[in-house]
Structure 1
Amino acid sequence: MSLVERDLKVIWHPYTQMKTALPPVPIVRGEGACLYDENGKCYVDAVSSWWVNIHGHAHPYIAQKVAEQLNKLEHVIFAGFTHPAAVELAERILQILPSNQQKAFYSDNGSTAVEVAIKMCLQYWHNQGINRTKILAFKNAYHGDTFGAMAVSGRSAFTAAFDNLLFEVEFIDTPDASNIEGLKSQISNLKSDLTCFIFEPLVQGASGMLMYEAKYLEELMAHCREKGVLLIADEVFTGFGRTGKPFACNHVSVQPDIMCFSKGLTGGTMALGLTTCTQQIFNAFLSDDRLKTLFHGHSYTANPVACSAGLASLDLFLDPSTQENIDRIAESHNKFASKIKDHPKIRTTRQTGTILAMEWETGSDTSYFSSLRDRLYQYFLEAGIILRPLGNIIYILPPYCITNEQLNYIYSKIESALDEL
């Protein structure tokens, strides 16, 4: 029995309608920006395997550090215990974040990092005896698939089966020149009820790589700060260089109160979540009253192997060559976007740093369920490229090690698809 046949017998894949989906591609190894199937065919991973891989697959330095850690300590309960990798990773991450970030709380993934942030904010007010329970978020947001993360995400087909079980959230449009004053007025009217404002800074990833300007985000953040509304920056997707700077919040001068990380945190090696916060947030939980404790944790919190992968990834990320690669990719994307922006089948292009999105003209509204998606996906797979369209939106989000030749190959195949499909 082949690997695919064995898979189909026992596996339920994510975001997949198992009755109609194509068989999965059997990947057996990776190297750099490429993944190889069991027949040796190379696929250029143009989406960083769901945006997690920033340094390339099976990176030898990360593998070395993980192996060293496995031979010392694989795991230890993190309630009442600690270990060197967790402490060092927290110390080093906090050094490169906005200066107000002072404490690190580990979890398992992006959704749980967001859950922790939401609970921190809600309990921050509760511990002070203040009744502020409403959360502000952007329309079209995506913050994860657990219930709290779903609740602060935009209502969609993804949440429809659970909508009546999700807590109430105040949703607003992303800011621009035409609506910023109205959004600020809305926040002013709600200020006594709002516990926090959670946002994906600059780019709403899962909603189609929707982008908005830093100057309007900064203005909105400043207004929330003035009104006493806590700020949660969800950098699960945008962190670690994706927007051209180390973190998307480096594009604004207002510092968030809480930040969420995962995906690129370990270079795509293994699951790890991180939520950082200010000393002010942390202090609200310091008490002789044990009921003011943050009651949250996971069995694998601060797993030493994952933290070691994070440390190795951070070493690579802080090497000057990585920023050079980020700049190279951003410049290359910009040139390609300029080349195709007037093509009759391109409705719009948008770019922030290493993220390039192209919206295909279909004659109807943008939709995650566009029939074009499957045709595009299969077309690129046959060409040896992993591009996972968000409906009629194609995006390129490669590992930073991708070569110019590989980028040009991806661009050329997109141009071919524009002519052929």
Structure 2
Amino acid sequence: MSNQNLLNRSLQSVWHPCTQMKQHEAYPLIPIQRGEGVWLYDVAGNQYLDAVSSWWVNLFGHNNPRIKDAIKQQLDTLEHVMLAGFTHEPVVALSEKLAQLTGLGHAFYASDGASATEIALKMSFHYWRNSGKSNKTKFISLQNSYHGETLGALGVTDVAIFKDTYAPLLMQSAQMPSPDFRLAEAGESAESFALRCAEQLEHYVSQHHHELAAFIIEPLVQCAAGMGMYHPVYLRRAREICQQYQVHLIADEIAVGFGRTGTLFACEQTNVRPDFICLSKGITGGYLPLSVVLTTDEVYAAFYDDSVAKGFLHSHSYTGNPLACSAALATLAIFETENVLEKNRAKAAYLTTKMQAFTHLPIEHLRYQGMITAFDVKSESVHFSRDCYAAALKNGLLIRPIGNTVYFMPPYTISESEIDFMLDAALKSVQLAI
């Protein structure tokens, strides 16, 4: 089958996500045939280094044998059973493991990050209702936050291109000043700016806590905001403020969980335990769709009642799918047995050193957080993102700049020589697109 035939069929039958389809008249789709490690191969045999982990999901490379074998073994016994009224070993084992790792139990499963956000928002709202505080119905999030694109998740998202069209459909929420250090005053340290933003958060919460259900936050890195990074002190203060004023803290670790920020979960860097944690993306190593919300015993107890109406009646047909849970267990086993976080620290240090090759370019805010590296390009071109993406593909590299922000979030299996290739290709691509 010809390459062009596949592309034509895709354009005729598939509506691709986060895409203005008309642009594919000028920028053809890339027909991927297989993956191996950090590399993707198209049907013509061209290869591309996956520097964004296929939208931040792939942790241990494409075609990983341990995760594949776990899925294959599970497939021989049970592919799926509904989780209402039934249970199975993979979902129990995964729930126990996640509770051990997060300090939160009672895992509620879905299939994607936005669904996890929806679950956490609904649980928080319903908790306060069950607890006799039905006036606590509102939510707050950070400016420039992103929590998904279903209606509830979009209601606490603050990215205009995703949100503005659907504004009439959305619940209203308030956005708190973002501690993203790029927004600090000249000469102001990241820590001082974070504390100043926390003061503004406390002022708002002190005035509105009687109507606030929860504050939802992306710990340490606001990824869709162009990898906006902030000092960990903000997270610690947010926990203290929410605790003081009886407002739930929801940690959206969908993108930053599972080692991306240098620790298994970003909240660990300030010993913060949220009331809810949302996990997805890397949870299965990028193999199968799965998300989960974990919460406290106190929240769980508020739903435990003789009344069905007090129960949490949210559901998804594929909740707790055994194949996805098996992939997640294999992913966690790799963390346990292969010293992943320590190896990542060495790779991050190597990448940091090599990034000096970019300092002669018109860039600013070169920044790092674990296995995330980003910088902002000073370019007048309104098409920088599109042109950089296209140039990178020609150089054998998959990157997707967010506006003028170029970032790297590669699989953790990337080698030093592959880091060299990634940065060399990115350097050439940025220079062409400026």
- Sort the TM-score into its range (normalised by shorter chain): over 0.9
Q: Distance in 2 between matches of 1:209 and 1:190?
A: 29
Which residue of 1 is the match for residue 370 of structure 2? 353
TM-score normalised to structure 1 length: 0.95
Alpha-carbon offset, residue 348 of structure 1: 2.1
Alpha-carbon offset, residue 291 of structure 1: 0.8
- Greater shift after overlay, 74-83 or 18-27? 18-27
1:283 aligns with 2:301: yes
Alpha-carbon offset, residue 344 of structure 1: 4.2
**Which of 135, 139, 159 in structure 1 is aligned with 2:139?**
135
Which residue of 2 is the match for residue 174 of structure 1? 178
Instruction: Note if contact 2:124-2:248 (Cα within 8 Å) is conserved in structure 1.
Output: yes
Alpha-carbon offset, residue 402 of structure 1: 0.7
Alpha-carbon offset, residue 337 of structure 1: 3.7
Which residue of 1 is the match for residue 182 of structure 2? none
Q: Distance in 2 between matches of 1:155 and 1:375?
A: 22
Q: Distance in 2 between matches of 1:178 and 1:69?
A: 50
Q: Distance in 1 between matches of 2:46 and 2:342?
A: 29
Q: Distance in 1 between matches of 2:430 and 2:320?
A: 46
Task: Label 1:185 to 1:338 Cα distance change in 2 as closer, same or farther (>3 A).
Answer: farther
**Which of 297, 317, 340 in structure 2 is aligned with 1:299?**
317
- Secondary structure class of the residue paired with 1:158: helix
Alpha-carbon offset, residue 155 of structure 1: 4.6
Which residue of 1 is the match for residue 48 of structure 2? 43
Q: Which amino acid aligns with 1:144?
A: G
Q: Which amino acid aligns with 1:352?
A: Q
1:274 aligns with 2:292: yes
Q: Distance in 2 between matches of 1:16 and 1:251?
A: 35
- Secondary structure class of the residue paired with 2:251: strand
1:59 aligns with 2:64: yes
- Secondary structure class of the residue paired with 1:20: helix
Instruction: Note if contact 1:325-1:401 (Cα within 8 Å) is conserved in structure 2.
Output: no
**Which of 209, 226, 229 in structure 2 is aligned with 1:211?**
229
Which residue of 2 is the match for residue 311 of structure 1? 329
- Secondary structure class of the residue paired with 1:104: strand
1:32 aligns with 2:37: yes
Which residue of 1 is the match for residue 185 of structure 2? none
Q: For residues 147-166 of structure 1, what are the structure 2 equivalents within 5 Å?
A: 147-166=151-170
Q: Distance in 2 between matches of 1:412 and 1:319?
A: 32
Alpha-carbon offset, residue 186 of structure 1: 1.4
- Greater shift after overlay, 236-245 or 324-333? 324-333
Which residue of 2 is the match for residue 7 of structure 1? 10
- Secondary structure class of the residue paired with 1:92: helix
Q: Distance in 2 between matches of 1:264 and 1:282?
A: 26
Alpha-carbon offset, residue 391 of structure 1: 1.6
Q: For residues 10-409 of structure 1, what are the structure 2 equivalents within 5 Å?
A: 10-21=13-24, 22-97=27-102, 99=103, 101-130=104-133, 131-175=135-179, 176-341=194-359, 343-363=360-380, 370-409=382-421
Instruction: Note if contact 2:143-2:175 (Cα within 8 Å) is conserved in structure 1.
Output: yes
Percent identical among aligned pairs is 40
TM-score normalised to structure 2 length: 0.92
- Structure 1: stretches of 5+ with no match in the other structure: 365-369
Residue-by-residue CA offset, 1:373-420 (whole Å, 9 max, x unaligned): 111001110111100111211110000001111111111123323444
Q: Distance in 1 between matches of 2:200 and 2:114?
A: 30
Residue-by-residue CA offset, 1:196-242 (whole Å, 9 max, x unaligned): 11000010111111111101221122111111111100000000000
- Secondary structure class of the residue paired with 1:19: helix
- Secondary structure class of the residue paired with 1:181: helix
Instruction: Note if contact 2:395-2:429 (Cα within 8 Å) is conserved in structure 1.
Output: no
1:412 aligns with 2:416: no
Q: Runs of at least 4 residues of structure 1 off by over 6 A?
A: none
Instruction: Note if contact 1:47-1:397 (Cα within 8 Å) is conserved in structure 2.
Output: yes
Cα root mean square deviation, aligned: 1.4
Alpha-carbon offset, residue 353 of structure 1: 0.6
Alpha-carbon offset, residue 338 of structure 1: 4.4
Q: Which amino acid aligns with 1:345?
A: P
Q: Distance in 2 between matches of 1:190 and 1:312?
A: 44
- Greater shift after overlay, 229-238 or 347-356? 347-356
Alpha-carbon offset, residue 50 of structure 1: 0.2
Q: Which amino acid aligns with 1:52?
A: V
Q: Distance in 2 between matches of 1:348 and 1:412?
A: 20
- Greater shift after overlay, 261-270 or 405-414? 405-414
Instruction: Note if contact 2:51-2:399 (Cα within 8 Å) is conserved in structure 1.
Output: yes
Q: Distance in 2 between matches of 1:347 and 1:138?
A: 23
- Structure 2: stretches of 5+ with no match in the other structure: 180-193
Q: Distance in 2 between matches of 1:14 and 1:401?
A: 27
Q: Distance in 1 between matches of 2:375 and 2:140?
A: 29
Alpha-carbon offset, residue 118 of structure 1: 0.4
Q: Distance in 1 between matches of 2:23 and 2:164?
A: 21
Instruction: Note if contact 1:155-1:163 (Cα within 8 Å) is conserved in structure 2.
Output: no
Q: Distance in 2 between matches of 1:94 and 1:338?
A: 40
- Secondary structure class of the residue paired with 2:407: strand
Alpha-carbon offset, residue 283 of structure 1: 0.4
Instruction: Note if contact 2:379-2:404 (Cα within 8 Å) is conserved in structure 1.
Output: yes
Q: Distance in 1 between matches of 2:344 and 2:383?
A: 33
